[in-house]
Amino acid sequence: MLFKTALGIETGMLVASSCSHLVHVVTDIVGPRYYDHWNDHAEWIVRAWPVVNLVMKEAGKPLATNSYMGAIRREPDGRYFSDMNDEIWFAPGPPMAQEMDLFLSYPPEPPQFVFQPGVDYSPSAPTWRCSACGRDFNLAPPPGVPHLKSTTCIHCGSWDAHRVFVMRPRVIGMVQSSAYTVALNCEDPPPLRPWGPRKNEAPPWAATE
């Protein structure tokens, strides 16, 4: 669903990130949400914090094709980061003309992922959720296919159970893999490492303030 505002972000704002020199304008906000499960045949990516996706256009180019920025979270100090811990900056932008208001102004509190009793959701215990019966269970993938993302449900027998990946807490100042990278390396995620030199240490508009 599209919103005018979510997590303190509003359509029309300028947005820039520590990993890009470009400045964009937020045109749509998708979310917020605590987990990603795009369809009944996809894995679950579970977070303990809400995130939104942004639909954007490059600033000063209203006819440019849309760009997208996914899984943006807001920290308690008001700073914004992506799943990979790129810092995201926002600033008021030029007024936006809306031909038709198809947005919802204030998103409701999104549902959180429901952890089921008796199931171990730690990275060392591969977890699955069945789309057919809705039950979670632990089951090690067969030898040779450690990154299998679908399997047979041990409860109902349906081949419709998909991996559940619970994201680790983000650590500001450390480079961390995205949920989808971790999903492919669940048992051995890439180690944390401190931020190196970033393309931007401050938003591009800071130099003119």
Q: Considering its fold, how many domains does the chain have in total?
A: 2
**Average pLDDT of the segment spanning 170-194:** 66
100 confidence band (pLDDT: 50, 70, 90): very low
Domain ranges, residue 146: 127-166
- 8 and 45 in a common domain: yes
Higher pLDDT, 169 or 190: 169
- 93 and 6 in a common domain: yes
What torsion, rounded to 10 degrees, do the Cα atoms 111, 117, 120, 126 define? -70
- 100 and 16 in a common domain: yes
Residue 62 has pLDDT above 80, yes or no: no
Burial (0-12, 13-18, 19+ Cβ within 10 Å), 3 = buried
Q: What is the pLDDT of residues 119-142, one digit of tens each?
A: 999 878 889 999 999 999 999 888
Residue 32 has pLDDT above 80, yes or no: yes
Higher pLDDT, 44 or 40: 44
Cβ 34 vs Cβ 47: under 8 Å: yes
**Residue 159 to residue 168: CA distance in whole angstroms:** 28
Cβ 44 vs Cβ 113: under 8 Å: yes
pTM: 0.82
- 132 and 98 in a common domain: no
102 confidence band (pLDDT: 50, 70, 90): low
